[in-house]
Homo-oligomer: A and B are copies of this chain.
């Protein structure tokens, strides 16, 4: 059945009243690239004043909470670090608090500084990542010189613009140990930059996934692992939470997998016919709204 399309202040009010925690996707909901969505600043302030929790839930794996906050605040959104929940932090929390990854073991990182920053924050030891030995690699690889670190018990792959064959090869080496876990921050196929789509974390992880024939643990949306990380860290009553997003495959599917309500915003990556057309997507949100900014009408009453 097609979901209700909310349009009136009464419908908005009823929804907001029923929610304590707003989980917000960022790009396409809060902003489009450098431009904040009209009304969203007012809406966020209204939520905060009403004592509601706001969490910016993004699959971005290169940014720590600190950097996510800085980026949101460059747009004037008044975000705190506590409100930011990217897949880098979610991965670190998941390792530390859900998997209880041993504090004396290490994670081999195919990723950037933001991911390392969050591992540090959660007390997870790591190697690889931004280490110049891996970043400044030039073929051919001198495998005789590579001494695998016996403490490595997980490979964590996120977005890494420094991807190279040595990093992939080292990850493969660690994954020959069946005890070594393979964890992906997310499986986003693309990453928007410079107004176009380029390969995203999920695509960059595929050489390792395919060559190692491992079934990876994936943290980011739409996986429940992301929600497990959120629940571990924030006191959230799932029945009072709402996931707001523009993407059926990540945001709305995430809500469905995590058993929380979902609100799809239009104007982003989802087309009207994917929800209301003759052959709609099987991923159906609980509700649809034109824009998160439309709720600003409640602040003006």
Contacts and interface: CB of A to CB of B under 8 A. Distances in A.
Contacts of A193: 143
B211 A203 contact: yes
B199 A168 contact: yes
A169 B189 contact: no
Interface in A156-194: 160-165, 168-169, 172-173, 176, 189-190, 193-194
Q: Size class of A's contact patch?
A: 20 to 34
A163 B165 CA distance: 6
B164 A141 contact: no
Given A163-B164, A165-B162, A202 B194 contact: no
B204 A189 contact: no
A134 B194 CA distance: 19
A217 interface: no
Given A163-B163, A165-B161, A165-B162, A202 B210 contact: yes
A141 B165 CA distance: 18
A155 interface: no
State the oligomeric state as a number of copies.
2
A198 interface: yes
A34 interface: no
A196 interface: yes
A168 B191 CA distance: 12
Interface in A208-225: 208, 210-211, 213
A168 B198 contact: yes
Interface of A: 139-141, 143-144, 160-165, 168-169, 172-173, 176, 189-190, 193-194, 196-200, 202-204, 206-208, 210-211, 213
30 contacts: A139-B162, A140-B161, A143-B193, A143-B194, A144-B194, A160-B165, A162-B165, A163-B164, A163-B165, A163-B168, A163-B207, A164-B164, A165-B199, A168-B198, A172-B199, A173-B196, A176-B196, A189-B211, A198-B211, A199-B210, A199-B211, A202-B210, A203-B206, A203-B207, A203-B208, A203-B210, A203-B211, A204-B207, A206-B210, A207-B207
